[in-house]
Amino acid sequence: MSLSNWETKKMGKFTLRYQPYTLEMKHVFTVASFSRNTTPVVLTELEYDGIIGYGEASMPPYLGESQESVVSFLKQVDLGSFNSPFQTEEILSYVDALAKKNTAAKAAVDIALHDLLGKIMNQPFYKIWGLNPDSIPPTSYTIGIDTEEMIRKKVSEAGQFKILKIKLGLATDKMIINTIRSVTDVPLCADVNQGWKNKEEALEMAYWLAEQNVAFLEQPMPKEQIDDNAWLTAHSPIPTIADEGCQRLSDVTKLQGVYTGINIKLMKCTGMREAKRMAELARSLDMKVMLGCMTETSCAISAASQLAPLVDWADLDGALLIGNDIYSGMIVTDGICKLPNRPGIGIIKN
C-alpha cells in the first residue's frame, strides 16, 4: 500500500514529509465516554543523508488534537539550524518548546527521529537502549463495552492473549465481567476511563473485580478526584494505574501515593525520549509502569514496543484493532510482543 499525498518540507540537511491518514477500526469501539469506528492519524517521514525515519501522530478525538492541528504544528517545525540528527536532545527540546500541548504532533517528530537514528547506527532502538526483547510482559488485548453477544465473539477472537483489558465505567460493568467469565478464565485488567464517581462504590467494585481475577484498575475515577483516587489506592486489593491523570514526565512525582503506577503512552508524552524517562522515574519512585497506546499503525506501536522490556504491563494492541495498517513491525505471537531485529523502530511499509 502506498500513499501519494505527502507534503514535503526541506529544512537544511533534513527533509520532513507528512500526510493525514484515517485508520479504520475492525469493530466499533466503545468506552465510558464515547463510541467510534475510525481514528485520524498523521504519518511522518524525516529524511537525512538519504536515510528515512518513520513517525506517526494518532489523535483519538478526546485528546484535543486533530489532523489539522498536527499539520499546522509540523508546518512550524524547522530543523534547518541543526547539523546532525545526533543533536537529539537539542532537536527534541526545540520541538517541545514550539507549543505548550500538541503532544501527538511532537511524538510524530520524535518517533521519526529515533527511527532515523537507529537506521544510521544500523541497530534496533531496544538494543541501543540496552533492553532485552525477551523480557517483555504479555500484551493485553482490549475488549470495548458491548452487548453480551458481541463480547463473547470478541473474547473468542482473542484466544491467543494471556491477559484481556476490559473497558468498564458504565452500569453494565458486572454484566460484562460475568459474560467474559462465562467463556474464559484468562486474567483481566479493567480500564474504567474515569467512569466511577464514588470512592466507596469504587472500592466495592475493586474487591469484586479482584475475586474475578482482575490484575489492576486503570483510571478508576476522574483524574480531578485526587484525594478519592489516593484513598482508593490505599484501600484497594489490586493496583491502580493513572492514565488520563498522567500525561508527561512532570506529572509522575505528583502521582506517587495517588496511584500505584502510571500508564505511559507516546502520544501523551511527546514520544520515545520522554516515555523512557517516565518509566525510569516511576521505577525510581517504586511505582508500577504500564505501557499503552492509542489506535495506531504498526509505526507508533513498534516505536512504543522498543521500551516494553522496561515495563510491568504492556497494552500494545492498537495496530491489531485496525484493518488498514500500512506498516509491518512488532508482531504479537501467543500474546507476546516480538520485536523485529531491524534497525530503528523496526518497521517496513506493507
Q: Looking at the annotation, which residues are catalytic?
A: 167, 265
CB 219 to Mg ion: min, Å: 6
286 is in an annotated binding site: no
Q: Are 267 and 299 in contact (CB under 8 A)?
A: no
Given strand 313-314, what is the order of strands in its sheet?
141-143, 164-167, 188-191, 214-218, 240-242, 261-264, 288-291, 313-314
Rounded Cα distance, 82 and 71, in Å: 21
Would you list the DSSP string of 85-105?
Answer: TT-HHHHHHHHHHT-SS-HHH
CB of 193 to Mg ion, least distance (A): 6
Which of residues 45 and 317 has its CB atom nearest to Mg ion in the complex? Answer: 317
A 10 A CB-CB count for 37 gives: 12
251 is in an annotated binding site: no
Q: Is 191 annotated as a binding residue?
A: yes
In angstroms, rounded to a whole number, what is the distance separating the alpha carbons of residues 315 and 219? 14
Nearer to Mg ion, 115 or 191 (CB): 191
DSSP-based three-state secondary structure for 59: coil
Residue closer to Mg ion by CB (options 104, 109) is 104
> Closer to Mg ion at the Cβ: 14 or 313?
313
- Where do we find the cell 504532533? 105
- What 3-state DSSP class applies to 47? strand
**Residue with smaller CB distance to Mg ion, 131 or 311:** 311
C-alpha 7/C-alpha 217 separation (Å) is 42
Least CB distance to Mg ion at residue 228 (A): 18
Looking at the Cβ atoms of 60 and 335, the one nearer to Mg ion is 60
The minimum distance between CB 68 and Mg ion, in angstroms, equals 25
Which residues contact residue 258 at a Cβ distance below 8 angstroms, ignoring those fewer than 6 apart?
A: 226, 229, 230, 233, 242, 245
- In angstroms, the CA 205 to CA 211 distance is 10
Nearest Cα to 86, choosing from 45, 43, 54, 118? 118
**Contacts with Mg ion, residue ranges (CB under 5 A):** 191, 218, 243
**CA–CA separation, 313 and 291 (whole Å):** 6
Nearest distance in Å: CB 44, Mg ion: 25
Query: What minimum distance in Å lies between the beta carbon of 263 and Mg ion?
Result: 6
Q: Measured at CB, which residue is nearest to Mg ion?
A: 243
Query: Which residues line the annotated binding site?
Result: 191, 218, 243
Query: Which residues line the annotated binding site for Mg(2+)?
Result: 191, 218, 243
